Amino acid sequence: MDNKKIYLLKNFMLFFLASFLPKTISFFLVPLYTNCLSTTEYGTADLLINTVSLCVPILTLVVQDAVMKFALDNQHDKRNVFTVGVRVTFWGFVILCAGCSALKMFGILKLDKFYIVFLILNYLLAAFTEMISYFCRGINKIVILTFSSVAQTITTIVANLIFLLVLKWGLEGYLISILLGYLINMLIVFWGADLYKYINFKYYDLKLEKQMLLFSAPLVASSLSWWINNASDKYILTYLCGISVVGIYSVAYKIPTILSVLGTVISKAFTVSAIKEIDINDTDGFLGKSYSLISYVMVIGCAVLIVINPFLSRILFAKDFYAAWKYVPPLLVAFLMSAISGTCQSMLTAINKTGIISITAVLGAISNVIFNIVLIPLFEGYGAAIATMISFFICWIGRYYFLKKNITLKNSIIKEIVSYILVSIEMTLAYWKNRYICIEIIIFFMIILLYYKDEKYFIKSTLTKVKNVVRKTI
């Protein structure tokens, strides 16, 4: 049990350094973006980036998940696993190039050439960066991911400062800085982890490729549904309300991104542990306790950010972008449910129940579209945020139900549900900005009291471990 905790904590710290810190640093660039770009330009950039995030799972067949899973199980030659990942990702790039060329030739794709080139290059760099980072997780070379992620952030920041403030390149400069960041990340990981040693095009393992794609193909529906939950509202908003509203709504995502990245970090670390240490009976309670701890951390983070949201928004959102503050609270709850749902996904992936992951994700996506069509005409961006929250909640309900049917999870579900209700009440009160902030603060402390025994145990056990480490050192 202790070894499991240490392994999980080690991976969490590495992924924290690789993802959370760089994203937090980028978070403070929001004032730069909102001052240098108009709401329309920011909306355009966000739609381009979201289009790429739609293309990646379709054209790669989510092969990166299979790359990590098959690299972790130690039953296959890792060179063959990596080669399959490279091959599938490359053919996705070829298909995208051919598709964009054909659509442009027949006048269907009306984007400027610069934006088309950006779409293609962003796909190439994002898809390969994601695939090789998943492979590094599978071969336990996580440290290099920390360096590459920090380097990507620094590159993007420096490029943005030069392109936006010095050269005044506007939207084009913002997009180029994104490409440069990905390029640096990919090169550092590829050469730093010696990944060139794992490429073996001379030997084509067709059987392995079929096994990997059979594992990952069902996850395409899940990834697309996840994309619908996160991005479809922006396209519906564009059609119904205009791209300027999309720019404001997209900026509203910046504060919830803190919570989202924290959830992603936890999910990445927990996925590796779940695959290695899966026990459907949860004999030592590791899975249940980990699930409850993740739920607690996300709820606390969500509650704190809801309270300070108006103050953060005043600092971060310049000019017309300040209207985004109202959309933040429901998006925070949405990302809370997304993180908990992702934790369920990690365990379902470990027991090869990828079909369940896809079914629940599709249910969430369908509900997202329905609620967007109903709520956006009534409440514009706020309606889109509520629709996203509801869809992630439905996805979590489905995954948790199937998870409990397959794993004897020893968690505190009653306590968790009460905390979700409390944070939802806090979100509702936040609609009126600071009017009920005192009640919001009381709700936050109620959540702290709800988990008092767990917090006391966690602090006590942590101090004990620290003392033991100090004694051994002395």
What pLDDT does residue 6 have? 63
Measured distance CA(226)–CA(365) in Å, rounded: 7
Range of lowest pLDDT (292-301, 416-425, 451-460): 451-460
What pLDDT does residue 418 have? 95
Write the pLDDT tens digit of every residue in 16-30. Answer: 666 666 666 666 777
Give percent of the chain with pLDDT exceeding 90.
46
Confidence band, pLDDT 50/70/90 cuts, at residue 439: very high
Confidence band, pLDDT 50/70/90 cuts, at residue 462: low
Beta carbons within 10 angstroms of residue 199's beta carbon: 14
Burial class for 2, CB neighbours closer than 10 Å (0-12, 13-18, 19+): exposed
Measured distance CA(215)–CA(399) in Å, rounded: 18
What pLDDT does residue 243 have? 83
User: Which contiguous run of DSSP H or E holds residue 125?
Assistant: helix 113-138
Q: Which whole number is the average pLDDT over 97-120?
A: 91
What pLDDT does residue 136 have? 92
Write the pLDDT tens digit of every residue in 316-335. Answer: 887 778 889 999 999 999 99
Q: Which whole number is the average pLDDT over 339-356?
A: 84
What pLDDT does residue 3 have? 60
Tokens of 135: 């492979």
Q: Which residues of 393-410 are buried (b: 16+ CB within 10 A; e: fewer)?
A: bbbbbbbbebbeeebebb
Confidence band, pLDDT 50/70/90 cuts, at residue 409: confident
What pLDDT does residue 4 have? 59
Distances (CA, A) of 189 to 138, 146, 151, 336: 14, 10, 11, 30
Check whether 277 has a pLDDT greater than 70: no
Q: Which whole number is the average pLDDT over 344-358?
A: 83
Q: Which whole number is the average pLDDT over 173-177?
A: 96
What pLDDT does residue 263 have? 74
What pLDDT does residue 389 have? 96
Query: If you average pLDDT over every residue of the chain, what do you get?
Result: 86
Q: Which whole number is the average pLDDT over 197-222?
A: 85
Long-range contacts of 194-200 (CB under 8 A, 24+ apart): 195/82, 195/132, 195/135, 195/136, 197/79, 198/78, 198/79, 198/82, 198/83, 198/135, 199/79, 199/82, 199/83, 199/86, 200/79, 200/80, 200/82, 200/83
What pLDDT does residue 101 have? 93
Check whether 121 has a pLDDT greater than 70: yes
Of residues 341 and 262, which shows the higher confidence score?
341
Of residues 104 and 277, which shows the higher confidence score?
104
Q: Which whole number is the average pLDDT over 22-44?
A: 79
Range of lowest pLDDT (95-99, 280-284, 445-449): 280-284
**75: Cβ–Cβ under 8 A, 6 or more apart, which residues?**
none
Range list of H helices, 193-253 = 206-216, 218-227, 233-241, 243-252
What pLDDT does residue 408 have? 84
Measured distance CA(455)–CA(461) in Å, rounded: 10
Confidence band, pLDDT 50/70/90 cuts, at residue 354: confident
Q: Which whole number is the average pLDDT over 436-442?
A: 94
Check whether 88 has a pLDDT greater than 90: yes
Write the pLDDT tens digit of every residue in 130-150. Answer: 999 999 988 988 889 888 988
Closest CA to 326 of 251, 235, 413: 251
What pLDDT does residue 468 have? 64
Q: What 3 state SS string does 302-332 have?
A: HHHHHHHHHHHHHHHCCHHHHHHHHHHHHHH
Q: Which whole number is the average pLDDT over 100-121?
A: 91
Check whether 233 has a pLDDT greater than 60: yes
Distances (CA, A) of 202 to 67, 79, 199, 205, 211: 19, 11, 9, 10, 19
Measured distance CA(319)–CA(337) in Å, rounded: 31
DSSP state of 80: H
The top-scoring range by mean pLDDT among 105-114, 387-396, 460-469 is 387-396
Confidence band, pLDDT 50/70/90 cuts, at residue 218: confident
Measured distance CA(403)–CA(398) in Å, rounded: 9
What pLDDT does residue 120 have? 96
